[in-house]
Amino acid sequence: MPDAVASLLHQDWRARLVWVTRSHLRAALALTVLAFCFFLPGQTSLQPMDRDEPRFAQASKQMIETGDFVDIRFQQEARHKKPVGIYWLQVAAVKAGAALGVPEPKVQIALYRLPSLIGAVLMVLATYWAALAFLSREGAFTAALMMVASVLLGVESHLAKTDAVLGALSTATLGFIARAYLSARAPGVIQTLSNNRLVIFWLIIGLAVLIKGPITPLIAALACLWLWARDRSVGWLKTLRPGMGLLIVGLVVLPWLTLILVKTGGSFLQDSVGKDMLAKVGSAQEKHWAPPGAYSGIFWLTFWPAAALVLLAIPTLWRERRDDGIALLAGWVIPFWLIVEAVPTKLPHYVLPLFPAIAILIVLAAERSGLSMNRALRVIAALLYALIPLAFLIATPAAFLLLEEGDLFARIPLYALPFLVLAFAFGLLGAREIWRGEAAMRAVLLGVFASLALTLGAYVFGLSKLEALRLSPRLAAAAKATGCASPSFATVGYREPSLVFLTDTNIELTDAAGAAAFMDKPGEGCRIAFIEAASEAGFKAALKGQAAPALVARVRGVNLNAAVDKQRKLRILDMGVYVRR
């Protein structure tokens, strides 16, 4: 199959895309279908991924439970790190699922992921639209394909967080700024922005602030400063009508901001700006420290498969660095990248809004003067193209063998392996195209096939089948199997946010003595306690009731986060499920 696909791509890469870009509507429909093919698999089968995703989902779930859509909380803890936008989107998705008859919608993580899924698709479409300011239709479509296939966007499309939605809004912002700047530099060549489009532009900025605070405005402002340093002029900014823009952004953001400031007595700004944003600048939060240069190191994975082509684009981009389009895209990427490299707290998704600009730069270099034919660069790029799928091909079976229990045959991911092998085969073909240097951009299309195979292997038949990591879903299922209606919960030795989300907002995260006191509380209804094996003796010793609770199930699994927190080796958690009726 890979050789057959390679033969179909043997013609010039742009010629193979002409038919789909004859109209923008056709291109948008094709990209939408492709994006859903990449981002849909695994949405329902993947468990809530600790820790950030279930924290977001649980806060949205509590909004539904309490009817308070202003304050943001995880259990009783105020969660004032991010604005409210993503929570409102998740609440709307869950309510829509309930209206359509989805069973138990409040604990269906796929519903909370819908904003991220749609955001990822919109980011792909926004990349195509933004790229049209710089590239031909075929080139813009190719840049969007790079986003469809990128590893990081695929990951974020499966997580109920802010970043896919923020990526879509940021990419749209890039498209508007590009049209404003380039039309001022080359009047009549690039279409100017109408008043209606300017209103949409500022609405997008306001929504981006409501999703994740100042990130999108900061990236845009840094790009404008970069262009000011280059041109010694920012007169083109007047075409964006910033006075009207501030009014629109204020109308979007200030109503909720006023309500949350009143509700929290002003502590929201202290928590979100002081304890979250500035704390990340001063020190690493939640063990997310990494040295400067970390983003540049993991970029070859997070933006695979297109990342390898950056090496081949750099010589052309450097030669043509005085070009207005290249200068704008460099200003979008470089200043913010340097800032996040310098900040101690690092998470891979921080640079996601920059990836569309990088994709456009790659294709821009290919359309202008072609990608580099330097032998050393082609060798490195070809190796990167093939090594990433090879790493997944090795790591996935290794994870099953390391974490799963049972006989050897049962621990091999038989259904995932064919897709992982196929991904590696396509990666090798793409590496061959890069090595030959004749039409390296054909490697993009081969990378799309490789990434799709990797998506199916990793999400559908890999991670979702790794039972050792599905500790929270299996504990929730064991509790449901007791037949108790609306039980109360406590847990000892395992307190991940996913367990809170899948069981009950009021679950007690306690110790052995606390769990015993919980089980002995008077009152009607079932009480269920999840007790880790190391705490069971203390739990039983602390019980004071006449009848010991019944042990109805044992669930074994691995808590990767605990291993990282305590800097110790992985170990199997053996959880007893105790019930008092």
pLDDT along the chain (581 residues), means of 10: 50 69 95 98 96 97 97 92 94 98 97 98 98 95 97 98 98 97 82 88 98 96 97 93 96 95 82 62 59 94 96 94 96 98 93 98 91 91 95 94 84 92 96 81 90 95 92 97 95 97 97 95 89 95 84 94 66 93 88
Helix crossing, 307-319 with 355-368: angle to 10°? 60
> DSSP 3-state assignment of 527?
strand
418: tokens are 């064919």
Give me the phi and psi of 575, to 5 degrees please.
-100, 125
Nearest to 21 by CA among 130, 135, 138: 138
pLDDT at 8: 45
Handedness of CA 318, 320, 321, 327 (dihedral sign): negative
CA 441 to chain centre: 26
Q: Which residues of 474-493 are buried (b: 16+ CB within 10 A; e: fewer)?
A: bbbebbeebebeebbbbbbb
pLDDT at 544: 80
CA 504 to chain centre: 26
Nearest to 273 by CA among 262, 263, 261: 261
pLDDT at 281: 58
pLDDT at 566: 62
* pTM score: 0.94
Do the bridges between strand 508-510 and strand 550-558 make them parallel or antiparallel, or are there none, so unpaired? Answer: unpaired
Instruction: Report the Cα–Cα distance between both ends of the chain, in Å, rounded.
Output: 58
242: tokens are 């910033």
pLDDT at 5: 46
